[in-house]
Structure 1
């Protein structure tokens, strides 16, 4: 910390700030920050809340650590020593205010790293469960993989802060042991991801042979590619920090006393940490550009219909008589031979019918301006055809799909693929859990 240059923390501060900006932009584009609400949708259980807030909290903690030390390092500057030359000012010569900020800032980094390990451990356990589970093993929350994640979460949230707290008397050792403890945990998790990356292509081929729809295979393929890139950058983050931690905990430091190697490893670690965290954000909150464009177009169309309905209603009220169909906009040219009486039949229209109402006096009621609300459009699910053994289950357009007990039993009989694969959108959206009977009504195809 005191032996690293101010520029090393400046790089951390700039990259972490860019990550914070990307976080805000991505969450706004994702659902306009609705995912931050405590009760966000029907599946906002404790698990989803923990995973969402633990990751989102780690980003501002990293920013606080990096920006805080960058300000201190540039404020304290450099000092010229007779035998060492010009070096960053040692922490012993810092002002009392700067020295008092060392432990709180290091503790922020410790908690951020612990929350990162909670995130990566959950993904590791979840995919080990999903890849190895058979069709009848459907309950993630009762599996030993989930229990492993719970135990690992408590360990990560306890041992990381305790290491920092117990070594706070010596700031240099405090930093070295914090780096060593965190990097050992993260390197272990990253290594455990390698078998998943190795077996995932065969897992995708298995899904194709089982007749899983193409959209699900595409989503999982995208996840596999992003996860491969993220694992690479996780190594770029953890290995340099591990080297600095091991060298700093030894009696004689060789790397930490070399300005070139110290700054180089610090720069590489900053790039690996920020890029891997950004990819985690994309995996946890995957955007669907097609859905966003469709929703945006539907909103524009609804506004257009609303404005046309308002114009017609105003003109009909001012005239006080029936309006000829020839006066209608171009979108209503099919009503050319009819007349319209807004104050007579407009309120007779039923939104459930979704068609124009005809009356005995040949007056026609215009559809209500809110006939096609965006909520109905976005909640309508398109169900693909699915192969179930030798049979094909036909899809369609309608409400979110629910598997009946018979269909679920048939799926488990013919398929060795866990049903959670079909509803997978991100590692924090667990919409399938519990026993078989309750699961039959909970397997849904969500919007995201």
Structure 2
């Protein structure tokens, strides 16, 4: 049974909204430079074109269906005394051909979407494996086994969808049923794999944080973790909804498909969840750097007022009591409590105030306690220096502490410089040439 024209119109509007959002987001991402091929970012350009092609094909599919359904519209059957959507057997040959072409667009769009989900899932597997490999991954993403597996699975899924839509070429309802069965089964498998990733990702995030990842990378990973949970829910929703419709279409009774309410409801749930997950994928796979976007452009006036330190006026003469207050209304006791809360030692305190708590002189502080923090404190005689000298070839370094620090493995560059599953090329280091010096000690017996 064809979907109602109103429900298909809503689906077409949602698809067009997703396409407009893709165009808008890529423009604000890097002014559409992500769609241009270059030697370093050719893979990102390929994946962006696949994602854009997927959304465009799905949008074309929905609008062709809208045109056909509104052209044929409803008919009244006297036998059952009901008004139903005109079945495809009563359509003109032109509209039947257009409907068949729309299913081919659906096949292409769904195949591209499966390739996007496969690449993302396998790339996360590549990253998770990289932090478990001593010394980092042995090869880049484009030369790894995960990339080769992605190519094989993408081609296989596309071939399965093309084969499914050609099982039946005359019965338009069965063409759609076979296509939806194969596509929804593959989407359900990928959605279940994404659920597994949701459980694995928190431990991966803790490992990356423990190994010293930067705040920018941790922020991106945390953002992906939250967005992936919402997106996984949407992917499960649209996969299950389309799977129910397609499996019911293979039965003889076709109970759900012959009920207009449940047929339209499940189809709309599937379409809405599909494009919600796709829009979230756009945000995750092409993350915008809001920090750099907030900076003024180079052509604008970037004159900033210098920051001047605040010089507190000298306090009035104090009496040796804890309740005496200065001109600002603060007592000596309050200043002493502030120093205690800030963990300010006696070397960072200037003279001028007596100690309101003389009983605390037993903390290793001789003489009167100093309360006011100095603007130019004297050099501290105590230091928290760990004993590791700055000289690289010193013989008095604390080797035990250095050994403890070396127990943590270095974070692989593919993780420390992570941007998104589309950004697989490692940025080249800029700046002066770095020279590393090593020494060897030869002991002659």
User: After the TM superposition, which residues 212-231 of structure 1 pair with which residues of structure 2 at under 5 Å, given as runs?
Assistant: 212-231=213-232
- Structure 1 residues 67 and 174: CA distance shift in structure 2, 3 A: same
Aligned match for 2:110, one of 110, 113, 116: 113
> Which residue does the alignment assign to 1:242?
243
Shift of the 419–413 alpha-carbon distance from structure 1 to 2, 3 Å rule, reads farther
Partner of 1:422: 416
Which position in structure 2 is the counterpart of 1:149? Answer: 150
The Cα shift of 1:260 comes to 1.0
* CA distance in structure 1 between the partners assigned to 2:406 and 2:277 by the alignment: 36
Which residue of structure 2 lines up, in the alignment, with residue 18 of structure 1? 17
- Return closer, same or farther for 1:202/1:90 CA change in 2, 3 Å cut-off: same
Cα deviation, residue 202, structure 1: 1.4
Matches for 1:78-89 after TM superposition, within 5 Å: 78-84=74-80, 85-89=82-86
> Is the 1:230–1:275 contact (alpha carbons within 8 Å) kept by the matching residues of 2?
yes
Shift in CA distance, 138/424, structure 1 to aligned 2, threshold 3 Å: farther
CA contact (8 A) 2:245 2:256 kept: yes
CA distance in 2, matches of 1:173, 1:122: 30
The separation in 2 between residues aligned to 1:206 and 1:275, in whole angstroms, is 30
The 5 Å alignment of 1:94-133 reads 94-133=91-130
Shift, 1:149, TM fit: 0.7
1:50 aligns with 2:51: no
What secondary structure sits across from 1:299 in the alignment? coil
Show structure 2 runs of 5+ residues with no match: 307-386, 391-404, 432-445
Write out aligned runs for 1:132-281 (5 A): 132-133=129-130, 134=133, 135-139=135-139, 140-281=141-282
State the Cα distance separating 1:413 from its structure 2 match.
Answer: 7.9
Q: Deviations over 1:215-242 (max 9, x none)?
A: 2111110011111111111112111100
Task: Flag the 1:412–1:178 CA change in 2: closer, same or farther, 3 A.
Answer: farther
- 8 Å CA contact 1:236–1:272 kept in 2: the answer is yes
Corresponding position: 1:37 with 2:36 = yes
For structure 1, the residue ranges without an aligned partner over 5 or more in a row are 305-329, 332-389, 394-410, 433-440
Paired residue total? 331
- For the residues of structure 1 that align with 2:57 and 2:406, how far apart are their CA atoms? 44
- What is the SS of the residue equivalent to 1:132? helix
Q: TM (normalized to structure 2)? A: 0.70
For residue 138 of structure 1, report the CA deviation from its aligned partner: 4.3
**Partner in structure 2 of residue 298 of structure 1:** 298
1:91 aligns with 2:88: yes
More strand by share: 1
Aligned mates of 1:48, 1:428 — CA distance in 2: 5
Shift of 1:297: 3.7
**Following TM superposition, by how much is the alpha carbon of 1:182 offset from its aligned partner in structure 2, in angstroms?**
0.3
Query: Are 2:167 and 2:178, in contact at CA under 8 Å, matched by a contact in 1?
Result: no
Offset from partner CA, 1:201-225 (integer Å, 9 cap, x none): 1111111211212221111100111
Q: Would the aligned equivalents of 1:55 and 1:119 in 2 still touch at CA under 8 Å? A: yes
Q: TM-score, normalised by structure 1?
A: 0.69
Deviations 1:390-441 (A, max 9, x none): 99x9xxxxxxxxxxxxxxxxx9984264321111111111024xxxxxxxx8
CA contact (8 A) 1:120 1:189 kept: yes
Map of 1:61 onto structure 2: 57
Cα distance in structure 1, aligned partners of 2:193 and 2:5: 35
Corresponding residue for 2:360? none
Structure with the bigger percentage of helix: 1
Change (3 A) 1:144 1:413: farther
RMSD: 2.6
Residues 276-323 of structure 1, C-alpha deviations (whole Å, 9 max, x = no match): 1101111121111111121x4433137x9xxxxxxxxxxxxxxxxxxx
CA distance in 2, matches of 1:444, 1:159: 46
2-structure distance, mates of 1:64, 1:130 = 35
